[in-house]
């Protein structure tokens, strides 16, 4: 399992000059999130905003990789 973190913001309101912009608060949130996730969950940080094509592609690629991994584990005796 994998959890992707968009380092540059989580919503359209968390970009520069918007009401929820706060890089320090987001860092604290990510630190706490990491503490709460199960250790077996892989965490990936991407230097992009959530609402970008780059983040969307990374999510799709991660999902495809997890699906392939699960499929290959099912084939093993």
Q: What's the pLDDT score for residue 71?
A: 80
Cα angle 75, 41, 70 (rounded to 5 degrees) comes to 15
pTM: 0.78
As for how many domains the chain has, the answer is 1
Higher pLDDT residue, 75 or 38?
38
**What is the domain extent for residue 70?**
2-75
Asked if residue 42 lies in contact with residue 1, where contact means CB atoms within 8 angstroms, the answer is yes
For 19-70, write each residue's pLDDT tens digit: 777 788 888 888 999 999 999 999 999 999 999 999 999 999 999 999 998 8
Decide which of 50 and 76 is more confident. Answer: 50
Q: pLDDT at position 75, please?
A: 67
């Amino acid at each position: 399992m994998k959890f992707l973190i968009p380092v540059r913001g989580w919503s359209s309101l968390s970009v520069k000059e918007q009401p929820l912009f706060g890089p320090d608060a987001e860092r604290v949130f990510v630190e706490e999130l990491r503490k709460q996730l199960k250790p077996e969950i892989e965490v990936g940080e991407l230097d992009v905003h959530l609402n970008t094509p780059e983040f969307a592609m990374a999510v799709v690629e991660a999902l495809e990789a997890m699906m392939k991994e699960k499929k290959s584990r099912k084939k093993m005796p």
